[in-house]
Structure 1
Amino acid sequence: DEDSGERLALRPTSETIMYDSYAKWIRSWRDLPLRINQWANVVRWETEQTKLFLRSREFLWQEGHNVYETLEECDIETEMMIKEYQKLCKDVLALPTTIGRKSDREKFAGAVYTLTIEAFMPDGKALQCGTSHNLGQGFAKAFGISFQDREGNNGVLPWQNSWGFSTRLIGATVMLHSDDKGLVLPPKVAKNKVVIVPILFEDSRDAVIETAELLADKLKQFNPYIDDREEHSPGFKFSEWELKGVPLRIEIGPKDLDSDSCVVVRRDTGEKQIVEIKDVAQVVEELLEAMHNDLYDKALELQERLTVSTNSYEEFKKMIEARKRVQVSFCGREECEEKVKEETGASSRCQPLDDPEPKHETCFACKEAATANFYFSKSY
């Protein structure tokens, strides 16, 4: 706790470090586009109220910083990256998100515009899960990044974007899918997609263990784990693996040996089915796919159910109080947005890319001319 006298710079993001090098590396249009991605720990010391995974002072994230010859290239890849993040959330995490453009008040301070993917949690709060920023030429000018263009002109400023997501995606996945029994892991991110729990009795122990190992061999592509601990009861093991969120549990006992079958249990629904051992690999693959799709559909249904629309400010206040995501027609003015934030605790989340136009002529809050369709809600 002593003052060492040494000054330390805490970096919230890596522009300063990376762009100083970019100015040395880029000389010609032939050096472009330059695309660099890194995983790094960054610090946001202004964070006061921390919440595990969702908001912390130091976190691991992925950040990409690209440089382009033209604005068109920069625009295309700014949108491409946010769509890649949405694809990751849907295809891997079973997490539905909305792609949209941030308001001027909410965008990254150095950006021309910011694109975001927003998820909506069961407690009625939005969670920003990833962003992609078109940085224009401002950083290039500030850091002395320039190049010789195809016509031989020197000192031409390039266009830049940056994009990233962090470990808060872990928090989003845990919060959205889990239940009172514990963690529910989407199959594609579970280390062990299957746990095999042999039901052991003294007179059949060896035969049951042998069959459990046979099952594990048939299911090796799913990285199964055999829980053959004898100091715990089957019921204890069932609860423990439910707590840990393993997608599928397979139970195998003496009675199952007689019918060459096993019992397969889904973590998300608790549904049980008896499966012949010869069919177990195919059934497990189908169940994991079904579980992923069901988790996504359930989360999407929740998001749609909690999304409402209005153009009345009084109704808006009640909807926000009820923890809804509210679609409104919005003027886009920062002073209007600040007033809404002060009076309701809600912030603008995004202008959806697939539905950007306002539904009404006037702003829901100030009754000035509306310029965009926007989502507002409370958020993390």
Structure 2
Amino acid sequence: MNTPSAPRVSRSSFGTLPDGNEVECVTLQDAGGFEARIITYGAALQALLVPDAAGRRDDVVLGHDTFDRYLARRQFFGATIGRYANRVAGARFVLDGEVVQLAANDGPNALHGGPEGFDRHNWRIVTIEEGARPAVTLARTSADGEEGYPGKLEVEVRWCLSGPMELSLDMTARTDRATVVNLTNHSFFNLAGAGSAGDILDHRLTVAADHFLAIDAAAIPLSQSPCAVAGTPFDFRAGVEIGARIRNDHPQLRNGRGYDHNFCLARAGDAPHFAARLADPGSGRVLELHTNQPGLQVYSGNYLDGSSAGKSGRLYRQSDAVCLEPQAWPDTPNRPDFPIAYLFPGEVYRHTTLYRFMHG
């Protein structure tokens, strides 16, 4: 295994947009073989190389080897999602007494920021930091009215190797008008390796949540949500294999075609807290996720249907990966009973997520 003798950062071209602008890749490496590759298109995590218990490195996130495949089909692999991750019912909400009409792209609803969300834009590199904790900061300006959202939004995303086998993600946003903001990262994890023959149904998942949001057939939270996880296939508090109950005849598993639900985290606040643990028995890789967000969307790759090739020409199929997406709760702008997702001038939106890897 070739690993650097010290942490380092490199910068290279990853492709070219139709308008001629370059898409870049920034590679962050530590001295132990832990490596993250960030591309400017979608401020996305394109690859994450993690040693297993025997020291063998594998890329543990799904995606593409070349830029043209990211451009050809929108699948959110590793992308920064905004302005509003998840769904807004009816693609509308009321803010300061006025109806805000969004661009609908999921039936009548708005999903992941609309048809041209943050994942479909080429971000600019602001800073690259070398030294013991390599990092890159990317930024973009979302214009007032983009996809229907009010206010000019200035957004920054910082990826950093913040410790041994630890990748940190810090996202900030500022607005000049009252708006809503809900950012997340949409990485698809398979701790056995993105090129492995195995799925994630044997991965053991722990989620620090006593409640989840039940959804209708369009994935909009029901009026009676949140619901207790106790006694349901959504109880991951003690840790259970993802596949253990995914095929149970439960109405919520039918609505989501598996897991595609927001878990209401037991703690929230300014500092990151433990939210989830994912463990692969074969490789010994373990991911612990800490975040300051109030919700965690767990998505079991239900719509991966083998219709497009990923890295190394592998066809991604259902349950080949799981997404763990820290965020505000879905449809919060229409649900005054949910934690708020408003941002006002003079305030700073702050999202922090830590991906801590270990062997177990």
TM-score by length of 2: 0.26
Q: Which structure shows the higher strand fraction?
A: 2
Find the structure with the greater CA-based Rg.
1
Structure ranking higher on relative contact order (CA contacts 8 Å, 6+ apart): 2
